[in-house]
Amino acid sequence: MAKEHNRTPNNESTASTETPPAPVAPVALAAPAAAATTESTQGRAIILPNGERRVDFIKRRFKELTADPATKTGARGKIVKELKAMGHDVAYQIVFAATKGDKPAAPAATPAAPAAAQ
């Protein structure tokens, strides 16, 4: 049995005998927590006991530790130890993944001496 359509040969709608659906009130949806920030949108945010997101803490500490040449070596390992001291046991791989695209902070450049006039 073929289904009949209410269409004219020109593909225009004809008057329908069906009643239109009742209007539905829009529902306000709560925005997800990740949408509130502009940082990472993958996965869910892990919040540390100090209220900071784990990825933000790792990136901030990496920049702080690599800015000083004395602490540049082993910065990721130090971050793992700091997180463990906070009671948040994290594998080195997590810290590496959070910082793999970040370049270590460059040491402050000393201004070049002005060239002697000849």
The predicted-structure confidence for 27-74, as pLDDT tens digits, reads as follows 655 545 444 444 555 678 889 888 999 999 999 999 999 888 887 888
Residue 104 lies in a domain: no
Which residue type does 13 have? S
Question: What are 111's two structure tokens?
Answer: 């201004």
Residue 86 lies in a domain: yes
Q: Which domain holds residue 91?
A: 39-99
Residue 93 lies in a domain: yes
Distance between CA atoms of residues 65 and 81, nearest Å: 13
How many CB atoms lie under 10 A from the CB of residue 80? Answer: 20
Number of independent structural domains in the chain:
1
Which pTM does this prediction carry? 0.52
Residue 84 lies in a domain: yes
Would you state the pLDDT for residue 37? 47
Q: Could you tell me which of 116, 49, 56 has the C-alpha nearest to residue 89?
A: 49
Determine phi and psi for 77, rounding to 5 degrees: -65, -40
**Per-chain mean pLDDT for the chain:** 75
Give me the helix-helix angle, 75-85 and 92-99, nearest 10°: 120
Residue 59 lies in a domain: yes
